[in-house]
Each structure stands twice: as C-alpha cells, then as structure tokens.
Amino acid sequence: MTETTLSDAKRALLAQRLRRREESRTITARAPGTTPPLSHAQERLWFLEQYRPGTTTYTVPVAARLRGDLDADALRRALDEIVARHEALRTRFLTTEDGTPELVVDGPRPAELRVTEAADLEAAVELLDAELATPFDLEHGPLFRTVLVRLAPDDHVLLIAAHHTVIDGWSSDVIIRELLALHDGATPPSAPVGYGDYALWQRG
C-alpha cells in the first residue's frame, strides 16, 4: 500500500477550491431594497397559471384542529406578525409588457382572516372546501389567507390556504409552529434568510 503525499502548493490549492465550493452553497441575505427574481419553481408555476387561469390546483391547504383556549384577537395579531416576518406571503406576480413574470413584494399588511362558526366537523369541512374552491389571483394577491371555524368555545379548526408559489410543505410547518408560538405570547427566532434570498442565490 502506497501513501500519497500532497505538496504544500497542492494542499493550498485544494483548500482554496473547497472554500469556494462551500461559499457557493451558502445563501446570504440580499441587500435591503433588492427585489428578488422568481425562482425556477415560481416561474414554472406562474407559467402553468397562465396556461390554466383560475385553477385551484396549486392551492396548498394546511388545516389544524385547535382544542383549548383560543384568543381570536391574539390569533389575528399572530397572523399579522407571520405576514410581516415572511415576505413570501406578501408576494405577487405581475406580467410585464413583454409577457414575462415580475415579482413584487408588498409591505407588511394585516393578514386575511375570516372567522365563522359551524355546528359540527362535517359542516366545518364543507365551509373549508368552499374556501379552497376560490382561486388565488397571482397579480393582485394576497396569495395567503386563513379561515378560523369555531365548533365550540374550546374547539376550532384553522385553515391556512396559500398558493404554491409562496409556500410549500416545509415552510407551512414553519408557519404553523411560529403562529402557535406567537399566539401563546412567545417570539420564535426569525430565519436569517428568506425564499427571495434563495431565489437570488439560485439564479446566480
């Protein structure tokens, strides 16, 4: 068995290449005021929406049964904070004059929350199905909305619906965790980068 020994110059070159490879994998926050591009996935979904406008195929539903004390006002404030924390939930997609998509990030605004009641779980499911049958407007937004259905004073069903251009399975789990923490008065840590930073990194 032979042992290969690298020269000092080759070791330095290898270390330099490894550092560059690691840097290329690191996503950093973009400069303030920089509008991110669409990611490849967002561009594909935008194109499919142009092909079949008004579809609900790309609506991502997240439903949670919430038992125990629930403060609707605290939930509304928590949702407002969620929208402020995650710029993807304030994103819209315009069509430019040359027919290409352009991403717009709006400033923080109150979340869209509708509070209603249902006699039982079956009636609640019917309400939520009707909500999910309403398509999103990619150009005018918002692309994120919520419905809270009250079954009893200590029993609720929460539906979060968003377009797939602004949410996926992983991020929906993050939003639910942060939402419940904020409702209970905690302040979960903010992510150092957002999806727009990832899109800019991907395009680069």
pLDDT of residue 195: 85
pLDDT of residue 3: 47
Rounded to 5 degrees, φ, ψ at 140 are -100, -25
CATH entry, 31-186+193-203, from 3.10.310.10, 3.20.20.70, 3.30.559.10, 3.30.420.40: 3.30.559.10
Distance, in Å, from the CA atom of 145 to the CA atom of 131, rounded to the nearest integer, reads 10
Q: Quick one: DSSP state of residue 88?
A: G
pLDDT of residue 113: 96
9-43 CB burial, b ≥16 within 10 A, e <16: eeeeeeeeeeeeeeeeeeeeebeeeeebbbbeebb
Residue 53 tokens, joined? 């406008």
pLDDT of residue 172: 93
Q: Where are the domains of the chain?
A: 31-186+193-203
158-188 CB burial, b ≥16 within 10 A, e <16: bbbbbbbbbbeeebeeebeebbbebbeeeee
Instruction: Provide the β-strand partners of residue 125.
Output: none
Q: What is the pTM of this model?
A: 0.84
Side chain identity at 26, as an amino acid letter? Answer: T
Residues 6+ apart with CB under 8 A from 168: 60
Distance, in Å, from the CA atom of 122 to the CA atom of 119, rounded to the nearest integer, reads 8
Distance, in Å, from the CA atom of 114 to the CA atom of 100, rounded to the nearest integer, reads 33
Per-residue pLDDT of the chain (204 residues; tens, 9 = 90+): 444 566 777 677 666 665 555 444 688 888 888 889 999 999 999 999 998 988 999 999 999 999 999 999 999 999 999 999 999 999 999 999 999 999 999 999 999 999 999 999 999 999 999 999 999 999 999 999 999 999 999 999 999 999 999 999 889 999 999 999 999 999 998 888 888 888 888 887
